[in-house]
Amino acid sequence: MRRDYIDIGYSPKDTDLICEFHIEPSAGVNFEEAATHMAGESSIDSWTEIATLSPELAEKLKPHVFYANEKAQTVRVAYSEDLFELGSVPQVLSAVAGNILSMKVVDNLRLQDIAFSSSMLREFKGPNFGLQGIRKFVGVQDRPLIGTIVKPKVGLNSEKHAEVAYNSFAGGCDLVKDDENLTDQKFNGFEKRAELTLKLAEKAESETGERKMYLCNVTAPTCKEMIRRMNVLKDLGASYAMVDIVPAGWTAIQTLREEAENAGLALHAHRCMHSAYTRNPRHGISMLVVAKLCRLVGLDQLHIGTVVGKMHGEKHEVLNLRDQCVLDKVPADESQHVLDQDWGGLKPMFPVASGGLAPTMIPDLYSIFGKDVIMQFGGGIHAHPMGTAAGATACRQALEASLEGVSLQDYSKDHKELEVALGKWLKK
């Protein structure tokens, strides 16, 4: 193992890939030694001296640990872009978040952020539609979108699933999606569900005069089948497909992104399973990295958390994810382990707040996120005492009140659905 990777005087090149890590050395291993092994293992080196690593090659490709703060347990590493297949998320992750997470010289190691160079950004298309494209689909420019997930997650047959979606649309939802574990089960086959639900979405459009979008889950055992399902949606006139990004894997997601462009479909990214490696603040990969990879690859909208709902995620973390979704340039924030990122013109993603939301939370959601968010409800719509349609209407009413700066209590005096929702969910 070479010992010259600690290079505090190094000034990263514009073409370097920059990574920030949280690092905790094992007992008996000093901080610089742990950082050296991590940098070497993620690039050109091995656990012992290797004769095949010439000085010339090492000088050209060696990583540079240009920042090391032992007290904060933080290091930043600059990697030459020549180490990477620039358009391959799997290859990049295999390097900077691969074997290094298993090294004995560290008790904990977490990839906090990656700053992508302009040369790497050029290898990716980013979102095909993104935030503004989705707004154009739906025909709504000046407010958050309201969405729901058909509940229960699984168990409904295709006809009942489509009925629940219709009631959601009729009550005021802009978007209705499948849940993450509904794909092509025997009680609710993919093709029948898609056909019936899209037909009732059209019916709701004609009745309400609003555009209605159904996000059908195309997650499948193989890329070939996933693409086939997406083309089924295209032939049925859909505008959207949904995919479970972590279980499907980055190769599948990059493949689907290419095929979705050919099909003219937007992609909704469900992040289920991400907490397997993002939730531990000391080890794994941050959700910030996942969000940035989603924008890089080109997904159009992404779950980021809610702050006020049931899912894990502190406010600062969720807002950092929001920023990576929507901003053209994200400034560095050392306290939050966020690196400077210029997105180089890649379109913004539409952030989705989802998980344990009720209509009573809409004022807080609007205060936190502003208008550029999809507020997505499950039980907060379908558990409404007057039924699904009324639950969707209550959400629209709560949003109208928030946009007008009126309290929910005052607005509910003339809006029965909201009044009933407040009775069920408002804390006494």
Catalytic residue IDs: 151, 270
Length of the chain: 428
Coil vs helix vs strand at 53: coil
Residue 302: strand pairing partners: 269, 351
Q: CA 314 to CA 420: how far, in whole Å?
A: 30
Rg (CA), the chain: 23
Strands of the sheet containing 17-25, edge to edge, are 64-69, 74-79, 17-25, 106-115, 284-285
Q: CA 105 to CA 47: how far, in whole Å?
A: 10
Q: CA 58 to CA 83: how far, in whole Å?
A: 11
280 Rama class: left (phi>0) / alpha (psi -120 to 50) / beta: beta
Residue 75 CA: distances (Å) to CA of 23, 24, 81 = 7, 11, 19
Coil vs helix vs strand at 209: coil
Q: CA 63 to CA 42: how far, in whole Å?
A: 9
Q: Which of 337, 335, 384, 338 lies closest to 359, judged by CA?
A: 384
